[in-house]
Amino acid sequence: MEINIWVNADDRNNLVNELKQKGYCTNLEAEFRMKSGEIVTALMSARIIELDGEKYIISMTRDIRQLKIVQNELLKAKDLAERKEKDYKQLFNEMLDGFAIHQVIYNESGHPVDYLFIDINPAYEKLTGLKHDKVVNKTVLEVLPNIEKHWIDNFGKVGKTGEPFWFEDYVEELDRYYNGLVYSPQQDYFAVIFSDVTDKKRAEKILLDNDRILKEQNEEYLSLNEELTSLNLELMEAKEKAVESDKLKTAFLTNMSHEIRTPMNGIMGFSGLLTKPDLEEEKKHKYIEIIHQNSNQLLSIINDLVEISKIEAGHIDIEKSEVALDRLTKSLFDIFSLKANEKKISLKLENRNFDIEIISDETKLRQILVNLLDNAFKFTSEGEVRFGYQLKGGMVEFFVSDTGIGIHEKAHKLIFERFRQVEITSARKYGGTGLGLSISKAYVQKLGGKIWLESSINKGAIFYFNLPLVQVKKNIKTPNNENMMNLNKIDWSHYTILIAEDEVINYQFFEEILEDTRVNIIWVTNGQEAVNYCEKNNEIDLVLMDIKMPVLNGYDATRIIKKNRPDLPIIAQTAYALVGDDLKAREAGCDDYIYKPINVANLIEKISKFLK
């Protein structure tokens, strides 16, 4: 009898053939049609049995849809990890400067006596002549038995104390001059980034020798004076270029040392303070916030270094898609509005009443605008910052304007160069890596546009850049207050929402956007407080649960709350939109999920599903 459960006839035939040949079939994967018409993937096992002289088929079918979903997510996660590992290896292998990681070896008294090669990049091999397979997992005394003791002392001190330093010195055993930066990525380890300056040193020596020879043999070689003078001038130019390049790299490395050490000092210092006994909760939250801010600052520095290395190596990957410029710029406006409020300056978005979609790389475009806006806020203490875009000459022209300190006309081209900054002294007032504009220029050029500025001292600055108008959809904007008008029509005064959020600014944002709904709000700052409130207060109708919180994180807090109140709606909200995070939130018991920065309309829509 045919019961029409098979989606593919071949699956049925495979079952019949196996039963005929072997009398049984195990774990046959097939698609089956349910009574409702739904198609499911399942594993079927069947066997022929004989009862009272009659043959029957007994079968068991197991639904594996969830297993398939999990398998697909695992494959995606594996692919992401492999791609990130590939990107790191590519950066490591294509660095122009030599790079090596070492582990310090101490004697019984705790004094550095040797260090171990953990890894080196191809540039290290080229600059030193030492091969990867001959040095990795060996100590420096095994590789270079006659290495001068001061190298071990100085480098070992960095691994022990964590204090970086810049060096320029001669390695006698390799007969080469090197300069670079030594820093400690973690306790008892140090990394070295260096370049070979032997040619510069030898050029200086040749110059000195030529001057001496010229003075000693001036009378004998008068006929060669013009040729020697020409050679001398060429060597002087080479020296000046080498010195200029060296100064730029020295200033850059010195600045990097300062920029890296500043957030590292904050992270290490306040991490230590967190271990103090009987630390007040308010201070604990303050210290954690400082650590969080410094971590983001350090991550930004590392990202800039990674990006400039990719640019130096010519490996800028462009992934084009449709980019809604109105949505993108509004998102940036929401983010930078917080900074504008903190600095008490005005922020304006001017999109010339057009909503445009273009084909470009949204990630690169966003980073360009973020870099320019960051600079505008950094150098503006009062007045306003404006940004937006318009159609101009068959291109989309973006601008970021500020009323800050301005830039001298002579420095307009200089500020876009790598390793260049308007301020290069150690007393730099404003901080930063100085790579943002260089990275932005490279991105703009890769996307087919150009970047320029208008500025003078104490008169602010306007940065412009344009991109090709590959595709456009132009509509007159509808009123911007549509979502807010809808909020005025919502009456949630008889509902109570618990907001679990440890960041004051984020809570104030929720409070502001929910104010017109008249909903009752309870605020807690960690997961344990959220659990306690939900256990004691049955009037709570919905929870907005931050995932990353102190004491007890959002996942664990959700699991506990759901055990006691399984019908209480919980919406997860987080700033870390990683692959699989939404699945983790739902596995913990969350009913929905929203990413930061929060889209107001999206948030109201999600809450409305549960507060009817």
Is the model's pLDDT at 241 over the cut of 70? no
Task: Please give the residue that has the higher pLDDT: either 218 or 43.
Answer: 43
Q: Average pLDDT in the 35-63 region?
A: 83
Please tell me the predicted confidence (pLDDT) of residue 391. 84
Question: Which of the 8 DSSP states describes residue 594?
Answer: E
Is the model's pLDDT at 197 over the cut of 50? yes
Convert 317-349 into a string of H (helix), E (strand) and C (coil).
Answer: CCCCEEEEHHHHHHHHHHHHHHHHHHHCCEEEE
Please tell me the predicted confidence (pLDDT) of residue 424. 43
Tell me the average pLDDT of the chain. Answer: 80
- Which backbone phi and psi does 48 adopt, to 5 degrees? -90, 125
Please tell me the predicted confidence (pLDDT) of residue 605. 87
Residue 280 in tokens: 């007040």
Q: Average pLDDT in the 481-493 region?
A: 63
- Which backbone phi and psi does 392 adopt, to 5 degrees? -155, 115
pLDDT tens across 110-147, in order? 999 999 999 998 988 988 889 999 999 999 999 999 88
DSSP per-residue letters across 90-152? HHHHH-SSEEEEEEEEE-TTS-EEEEEEEEE-HHHHHHH---HHHHTTSBHHHH-TT--HHHH
Please tell me the predicted confidence (pLDDT) of residue 475. 44
Task: Please give the residue that has the higher pLDDT: either 480 or 356.
Answer: 356
Please tell me the predicted confidence (pLDDT) of residue 577. 46
Please tell me the predicted confidence (pLDDT) of residue 295. 72
Distance spanning both ends of the chain, measured CA to CA: 49
Please tell me the predicted confidence (pLDDT) of residue 175. 84
Of the pLDDT bands very low, low, confident and very high (cuts 50, 70, 90), residue 498 is very high
Q: Of the spans 269-273, 304-308, 379-383, 488-492, which averages the highest pLDDT?
A: 379-383
DSSP per-residue letters across 6-47? BSSHHHHHHHHHHHHHHSEEEEEEEEEE-TTS-EEEEEEEEE
93: left (phi over 0), alpha (psi -120 to 50) or beta: alpha
Please tell me the predicted confidence (pLDDT) of residue 532. 94
pLDDT tens across 327-370, in order? 888 888 887 888 888 889 999 998 764 667 888 888 788 888 98
Q: Which residue in the block uniquely carries the two structure tokens 């020295």?
A: 250
DSSP per-residue letters across 157-188? HHHHH---EEEEEEETTTTEEEEEEEE-SSTT
Is the model's pLDDT at 579 over the cut of 70? no
pLDDT tens across 525-578, in order? 999 999 999 998 889 999 999 988 899 999 999 999 999 999 999 999 876 545
Taking alpha carbons only, the member of 127, 221, 111 closest to residue 171 is: 127
Please tell me the predicted confidence (pLDDT) of residue 425. 40
- Collect contacts of 404-408 with beta carbons under 8 A, ≥24 apart: 404/376, 404/379, 404/380, 404/460, 404/461, 405/379, 405/380, 405/457, 405/458, 406/455, 406/456, 406/457, 406/458, 406/459, 406/460, 406/461, 407/453, 407/455, 407/456, 407/457, 407/461, 408/456, 408/457
Burial class (CB in 10 A: 0-12, 13-18, 19+), 605: middle
Task: Please give the residue that has the higher pLDDT: either 256 or 394.
Answer: 394
Of the listed ranges 113-117, 246-250, 514-518, 599-603, the least confidently predicted one is 246-250
Whether residue 12 contacts residue 4, with contact meaning beta carbons closer than 8 Å, is answered with no
Q: Average pLDDT in the 69-96 region?
A: 72
Cα–Cα dist 343/14, whole Å: 72
Distances (CA, A) of 49 to 12, 19, 53, 61, 475: 19, 11, 10, 17, 70
Please tell me the predicted confidence (pLDDT) of residue 247. 63
Please tell me the predicted confidence (pLDDT) of residue 251. 55
Is the model's pLDDT at 59 over the cut of 50? yes
Q: Average pLDDT in the 428-455 region?
A: 78
Is the model's pLDDT at 599 over the cut of 80? no
Burial class (CB in 10 A: 0-12, 13-18, 19+), 185: exposed
Is the model's pLDDT at 400 over the cut of 60? yes
In percent, the amount of the chain with pLDDT more than 90 equals: 24
Please tell me the predicted confidence (pLDDT) of residue 315. 64
Handedness of CA 304, 306, 307, 311 (dihedral sign): positive
In percent, the amount of the chain with pLDDT more than 70 equals: 80
pLDDT tens across 147-163, in order? 889 889 999 999 999 99
Please tell me the predicted confidence (pLDDT) of residue 386. 93
Please tell me the predicted confidence (pLDDT) of residue 30. 86
Amino acid at 337: S
Cα–Cα dist 343/172, whole Å: 54
Cα–Cα dist 525/551, whole Å: 9
Please tell me the predicted confidence (pLDDT) of residue 127. 87
Count of Cβ atoms closer than 10 Å to residue 453 Cβ: 19
Of the pLDDT bands very low, low, confident and very high (cuts 50, 70, 90), residue 225 is low
Of the pLDDT bands very low, low, confident and very high (cuts 50, 70, 90), residue 473 is very low
Taking alpha carbons only, the member of 421, 422, 427, 418 closest to residue 408 is: 422
Please tell me the predicted confidence (pLDDT) of residue 240. 74
Whether residue 307 contacts residue 437, with contact meaning beta carbons closer than 8 Å, is answered with no
Task: Please give the residue that has the higher pLDDT: either 32 or 295.
Answer: 32
Please tell me the predicted confidence (pLDDT) of residue 63. 79
Whether residue 48 contacts residue 55, with contact meaning beta carbons closer than 8 Å, is answered with yes
Please tell me the predicted confidence (pLDDT) of residue 531. 95
Q: Of the spans 285-299, 517-531, 575-589, which averages the highest pLDDT?
A: 517-531
Of the pLDDT bands very low, low, confident and very high (cuts 50, 70, 90), residue 309 is low
Please tell me the predicted confidence (pLDDT) of residue 401. 93
Is the model's pLDDT at 198 over the cut of 90? no
Please tell me the predicted confidence (pLDDT) of residue 273. 79
Please tell me the predicted confidence (pLDDT) of residue 420. 52
Please tell me the predicted confidence (pLDDT) of residue 426. 33
Cα–Cα dist 518/239, whole Å: 72
